[in-house]
């Protein structure tokens, strides 16, 4: 059984194996297919049109399935690897071990945002940014530049306390847990973390930065915490909503899985802690 | 755009949409106040209702050494047809994918998690983010 662990608790060997598996997916071309898929959905999901991956109730189950696909790809390289999560309420400094050279590498240099250390630095030759929106082929970050502070634990608590999963109009204007976690309204959790990291993480091709997976693994964990907090509250909407994925409707691009199929994460993985 | 210069096309677009832009300026001034992100002078974006009514006015300026342009477009006129925003933004002639949120704020593909009040603000944010790099036409992505 896959156990997703807090990145701060990984052993040196676990970090090494995770990095090696990611680099192998990159080398084989499989990694970039994930970046392409994400960008297609982020550009196609609109508030008044069809919306599946973002700005809609299926933001959470869509990313749960997307991460499962990526984790299974990693495990096809090294069966011992699981996706770690980054609790950005706790590890909120640029000096966190997350950003050390033995794991993801640090922030970018001021001249051009280029990441200069770690396994994903362009100079190492193993991380060409191929799926991109501009001419730059190197991984970039500007930790803490786009916004000064990552969300706090109390801000997360305020969102976990929301007793409605989602609400009409089922988009970036909605009230409820999903949109506050996504960040289009309120204290802003998920969106703000993308902005805090900067570089490709602030763009539609955000999975170019491997921290994408650790960020979304924590967002996913927050969904599980919310479910435990509100056991009687289900995914919404449940039927008949144009342009929006209802509880029992299949999701693109897989077309074989519904939000209902993904509400319980425990058939697929567990977390190191509740 | 064959047979038309860019300037003429922009002029035509401006003439077609000026009435809508004025309406937007009148009806949404209050909602645009106090957001403080943008220092431009274009009409603010309209409220959530509808794509086609209250589209922002065109703009054309040089910002930090790069030409940024924005103009309302008809459905299907986008190169990539990824969405129906009804408005196109260009950086040095390359189209920047932009999107309007339900609250009237805007994002672009190079700043996708950080809404700003207007398409001009999104274009300027893109120039800031690009640090001189060339924007790739998005159908190629």
A-chain residue closest to B83, CA distance: A44
Which chain A residues are Cβ-neighbours of B97 within 8 angstroms? 43, 133, 204
**Minimal CA separation from B8 to chain A, in Å:** 28
pLDDT for A51:
98
Its pTM stands at 0.87
**Minimal CA separation from A179 to chain B, in Å:** 13
Which chain A residues are Cβ-neighbours of B82 within 8 angstroms? 43-44
Residue A210's CATH number = 1.10.1280.10
Cis before A237? omega within 30: yes
ipTM of the complex: 0.94
Q: How many CA atoms lie within 13 A of A93 on its CB side?
A: 5
B12/B131 Cα distance (integer angstroms): 32
Domain span at A49: 2-271
Over residues B87-116, mean pLDDT: 96
Contact B84 A49 (CB under 8 A): yes
A64/A85 Cα distance (integer angstroms): 13
pLDDT for B85:
65
Of residues B140 and A33, which shows the higher confidence score? A33
Question: B74: pLDDT confidence band, cut at 50, 70 and 90?
Answer: confident
Q: How many CA atoms lie within 13 A of B101 on its CB side?
A: 24
**What's the pLDDT tens digit per position in A160-189?**
999 999 999 999 999 999 999 999 999 999
Over residues B113-140, mean pLDDT: 92
B111/B32 Cα distance (integer angstroms): 20
pLDDT for B83:
54
A270/A137 Cα distance (integer angstroms): 36
For chain B, domains (ranges, CATH) are 59-130 (3.30.1880.10)
Q: Of the candidates B99, B113, B135, which has its C-beta nearest A195's C-beta?
A: B113
B17/B77 Cα distance (integer angstroms): 15
Question: B12: pLDDT confidence band, cut at 50, 70 and 90?
Answer: very low
A81/A19 Cα distance (integer angstroms): 10
Q: Is A161 on the interface with B (CB under 8 A)?
A: no
The answer to whether residue B49 scores a pLDDT higher than 50 is no
Domain count, chain A: 1
Contact B51 A48 (CB under 8 A): yes
- Computed over every residue of chain B, the mean pLDDT equals 69
Residues of chain A with pLDDT under 70: none
Alpha helix stretches (DSSP H) within chain B: 6-32, 119-130
Contact A48 B134 (CB under 8 A): no
A39/A203 Cα distance (integer angstroms): 9
């Amino acid at each position: 059984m896959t156990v997703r662990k807090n990145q701060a608790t990984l052993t040196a060997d676990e970090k090494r194996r995770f990095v090696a598996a990611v680099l192998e997916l990159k080398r084989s071309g499989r990694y970039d297919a994930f970046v392409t898929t994400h960008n297609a959905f982020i550009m196609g999901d609109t508030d008044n049109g069809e919306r599946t991956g973002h700005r809609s109730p299926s933001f959470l189950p869509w990313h749960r399935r997307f991460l499962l696909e990526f984790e299974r790809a990693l495990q096809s390289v090294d069966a011992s690897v699981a996706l770690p999560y980054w609790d950005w309420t706790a590890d909120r400094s640029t000096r966190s071990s997350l950003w050390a050279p033995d794991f993801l590498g640090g922030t970018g240099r001021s001249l051009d945002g280029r990441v200069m250390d770690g396994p994903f630095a362009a100079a190492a030759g193993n991380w060409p940014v191929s799926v991109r929106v501009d001419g730059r082929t190197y991984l970039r970050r500007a930790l803490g530049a786009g916004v000064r502070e990552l969300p706090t634990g109390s801000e997360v608590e305020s969102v976990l306390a929301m007793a409605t999963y989602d609400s009409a109009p089922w988009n970036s204007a909605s009230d409820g847990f999903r949109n506050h976690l996504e960040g289009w309204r309120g204290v802003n959790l998920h969106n703000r973390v993308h902005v805090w990291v900067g570089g490709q993480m602030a763009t539609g091709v955000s999975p170019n930065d491997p921290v994408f997976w650790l960020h979304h693994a924590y967002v996913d964990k927050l969904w599980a915490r919310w479910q435990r907090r509100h056991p009687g509250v289900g995914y919404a909407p449940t039927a008949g909503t144009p342009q929006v994925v209802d509880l029992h409707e299949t999701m693109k691009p897989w077309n074989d899985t519904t939000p209902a199929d993904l509400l319980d994460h425990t058939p697929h993985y567990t977390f190191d802690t509740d | 755009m064959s047979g038309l210069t860019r300037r003429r096309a922009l002029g035509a677009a401006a003439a077609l949409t000026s009435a809508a832009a004025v309406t937007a300026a009148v009806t949404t001034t209050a909602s645009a106040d106090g957001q403080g992100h943008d220092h431009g002078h274009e009409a603010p974006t309209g409220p959530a209702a509808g794509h086609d009514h209250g589209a922002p006015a065109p703009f054309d300026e040089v910002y930090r050494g790069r030409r940024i342009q924005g103009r309302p477009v008809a459905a299907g006129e986008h190169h990539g047809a990824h969405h129906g925003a009804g408005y196109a933004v260009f950086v040095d002639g390359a189209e920047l994918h932009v999107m309007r949120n339900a609250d009237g704020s805007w994002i672009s593909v190079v700043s996708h998690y950080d809404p700003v009040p207007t398409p001009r603000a999104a274009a300027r944010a893109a120039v800031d983010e690009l640090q001189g790099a060339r924007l790739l036409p998005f159908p190629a992505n």
